[in-house]
Amino acid sequence: MDSILISGAASGIGAASARLFHARGWRVGLLDMNGDALERLSEGLGGAWRRVLDVTDGAAVRAALADFVGAGDGRLRLLFNCAGVLRFGRFEEIAVEEHGRLLAINVQGLLNCCHAAFPYLKATPGAQVLNMGSASGLYGVPEMASYSASKFAVRGLTEALELEWRRHGIRVADLMPPFVRTPMVTSQTVEPPVLRRLGVTLTAEDIAAAAWRQARSGKVHRPIGALFRAMYWSGQLSPPALNRWVMAWLSRD
């Protein structure tokens, strides 16, 4: 049986992905800091394996990986690094500690999961890492500065590991959606201009469906949504100055 371990699984994209992969016959493992939500999700998935942890705790991540894989067949088909946090607001109005926490979860947490999962992925034919990237990893977004920085890091790590881990038979990819209607977005008290202009049309289930498609794909980056796909591919061909102008126009007050 194929297995998937999902960080940030208790709500939003992580929970939607857990439900989809479970419904299609995969063994699902759930990681999140929200124990109550994680328990409810696990019960709804027939008692799926779960562990309450902070992905920035490397020792806890290593122990969880060993337990999940050990309780199965010793293999891990797909690691979905979905854990992440978001904070809208002007850079100087957000405490530096909050910037640091965002980077720790979105970047260090992903590093911890990838590093701990490597030996199990290496032992699994067709193994894959799927990282939760973002449209904000294409060009830095005002009022999302540290979040954009974290998603640039995710994009760079994805590209590097995709090449480095080929020799081990491990594919590495990321999903790159624009804004998604999840609690992480809808709970924000600040609305950046770019959000007002682009809107929120994607759901967690849309991203889960993209994760399912990516599980059988050799793509490295998967931009999601018709508008962002057009922006992504035009951005690959456009000079950087044009991309900067587009972002400045979208972010104007």
Whether the per-residue pLDDT at 165 is higher than 90: the answer is: yes
Mean pLDDT computed over 177-193: 75
Mean pLDDT computed over 146-171: 96
Task: Pick the range with the lowest mean pLDDT from 14-18, 27-31, 242-246.
Answer: 242-246
Mean pLDDT computed over 159-178: 95
pLDDT given for residue 241 in this prediction:
61
- pTM, to two decimals: 0.89
Q: What is the CATH number of the domain that holds 78?
A: 3.40.50.720
Q: Report, as residue numbers or ranges, the catalytic residues.
A: 147
pLDDT given for residue 238 in this prediction:
60
Q: Write the burial class of residue 33 (CB in 10 Å: 0-12 exposed, 13-18 middle, 19+ buried).
A: middle
- 138 band by pLDDT with thresholds 50, 70 and 90: confident
Q: What is the pLDDT of residues 212-251, one digit of tens each?
A: 999 999 999 998 976 666 566 666 656 666 665 565 666 6
Structural domain containing residue 26:
3-250
pLDDT given for residue 179 in this prediction:
75
Q: Which two tokens stand for residue 207?
A: 């991203």
- Work out how many domains the chain is built from and give that number: 1
